[in-house]
Structure 1
C-alpha cells in the first residue's frame, strides 16, 4: 500500500519542523548550562600537574588571549614545563617579540623546550629562542634570521591608464612607501634605518638565546634558511628530535616526569568550549536527521 504523495510530503515537512525545534531546544538547554558553569567555575589552567604545550602554526601575530594564558602559566605551580610546538614560516616582528617575551618570562621560572616541525623560520625561529633546549627535525626548514618590508609601486601603470592619484601628506616621508610614486632617496634611507634597527633587535635575541657573540650571529643573519642539520651545526638549535625527545630531556635534565599529562593551551573560556561542543553535537544530530528524512542520496540500486 503506497502513501498519497501529498500526505507523504506533509509528513516530511512535519518531521523536519520537529527536528529543527528539537535541536533549538537542546541548544537552549545546553547554552543555559554553559552559562551557569561559566559563572560559577573559576577560569584558569587545569588543577592537575601537567606539561603545557603551546602550538604555534601559520602566520605569527600578537594574540592577547595567548599572552594572558602564558602569563598565568608562569606562576601556576601545576604547570611543570612548557613545550612550544612550532610550525610557522614567521610573521610580524611585533607578534614574534610578544611571544618571545612571554616565553622568556616563563623560562625564568620553569623549563621551556621548543620543538620545531616542518617550518620554524624568521619569527617562527625567534619564538624558540627563550627555550632552554631547542629540537628540530633533520628536514626542518629554520633560520631565516632577518626582517623585510615589501611594497609595490604602480605609478607607470596608473599613468598608462590615465589615472593621476592626488596625495596630501603632512611631510615628505608620510607617504613613503607609496603605491603612487617611487621611493625617494630620503624615503629609502629612512625605511632602511627602520629595517636595520629591527634586524639589530632580532640579532640580539639570537645572541642572547643561543649564548653566542653578536659577531658570530651576524654572518648567519643574512636571511638564509637552513635545514635542521645545518642549524645544529651552526649552533642555532641544540638537538635533532621531536616531542618525544623533548619529554625525555625534561625528565632527565629538569626532573619533569614523562608520565605527566600533556595539555594544549586553550584560550577559549569554559562556556565557549561547552557551547562549541554542544553546537557541534546538535549540528551533527540535525544533519543525521535530515539525511534520514528526504535528503538526496548518491546510491546505486540495481534495477528490479
Structure 2
C-alpha cells in the first residue's frame, strides 16, 4: 500500500512538472504580464504578406500586448502585399496603438506601410520616401534576333500579351499601362495622406519618387520623431500606457527552410522573391533596389 502511494506521489509530481513546463512554453496568458510590447519585423523586399499579417493579428488579439511596434528595414516591394499590411495596421490601430520604427531604409512600400501607424520614428539618415510606382518590362527583340530565337504568341484578348519582350509596345498599350501605374500612384498618395492625416495635395507635391532622408521627412511631416529603435520602444510604451519596464516580445518567425540553411536567410529570401514574383509587376519599390 505504501509503495502504491509512493508511486502515485512520484507520478503526480512529474505530471505537475510537465504541466508547468507546458505552461511556460505555450501561448497561455497564465504567466504573461500586462506590460508587453509586440515587435513585428519587416525586412527586405515585400513580396508575401502572410507571415506579417499573421503576427499583427496575433498581437492585436493578445490582451497582454499593450502596443505593437513595426520595425521596417525594407526598400518596398509589391503593391498588393504592401497594401495588405497597410490595411491590417489601419484595422489594428482601432484596438491598440502601433508605432513604426524605420531602420536604414524604409522607402516606397516600406514607407507606405509605416504611414498607417499612429507614430513614425526614423533616424536622421534613414532612406525613406520614394512615393511612386515602378515596373520594368524587358525588351529582348534585338537579342532574340541575334541568337535566332523566335517567340510565337497565341492569345485570346487583344491586350493579353502587353509587355511581350519579343516586340515593341504599341502607343495604345503604353497608355493602358500608364493608366494602371497612375491609378496605383493615386492609391499610394491617398493612403499616405489618410494615414498621416495630411491633405493629398501636400503629399502629391513630394510624391514624384524622390528619395528623402529621415531629417527632411520629419520637416515634411512624413515622420513624427527622430530616433532609434529604443526611442520607438519608448513611444510605444507611452502610447500603450505601459507602467514600469516594458517586456519586448518579438513575433514568432517561421521555421528555417533547407534553402535558408544552405544559402542563409537573406540570400534565400532574395531567391524566393525572384522565383515567386513576375518581373513585370507593379511595385512600390525604390528604383535602386530592383
User: What band does the TM-score fall into relative to the shorter chain?
Assistant: 0.7 to 0.9
- Which of the numbers 147, 159, 166 marks the counterpart of 1:180? 166
Structure 1: tracts of 5 or more residues without a match: 1-32, 280-304
**Cross-structure match for 2:102:** 116
Structure 2 matches for 1:152-301, cutoff 5 A?
A: 152-257=138-243, 259-268=245-254
**Cross-structure match for 1:21:** none
Measured in 1, the distance between the counterparts of 2:115 and 2:28 equals: 26
State the Cα distance separating 1:74 from its structure 2 match.
1.5
Structure 2: tracts of 5 or more residues without a match: 1-17, 262-290
Q: Please identify runs of 4+ aligned residues in structure 1 that moved more than 4 A.
A: 41-46
Between 156-165 and 86-95, report the one with greater CA deviation.
Answer: 156-165
Structure 2 matches for 1:47-196, cutoff 5 A?
A: 47-49=32-34, 50-196=36-182
RCO higher in structure (CA 8 A, sep ≥6): 2
| TM-score where L is the length of structure 2 | 0.75
State the Cα distance separating 1:247 from its structure 2 match.
2.7
- SS state of the match for residue 192, structure 1? helix
Q: Decide which structure has the larger Cα Rg and report it.
A: 1
Between 246-255 and 129-138, report the one with greater CA deviation.
Answer: 246-255
- SS state of the match for residue 232, structure 1? helix
Equivalent pairs counted in the alignment come to 236
| TM-score where L is the length of structure 1 | 0.71
Verify the 8 A CA contact 1:74 1:105 in the aligned structure 2. no
**Cross-structure match for 1:282:** none
- Computed over aligned residues only, the root mean square deviation of the Cα atoms, in angstroms, reads 2.6
Deviation by residue 1:220-265 (Cα, 9 ceiling, x = unmatched): 1100011101101111111101222223333445422361210111
- SS state of the match for residue 97, structure 1? helix
State the Cα distance separating 1:43 from its structure 2 match.
5.3
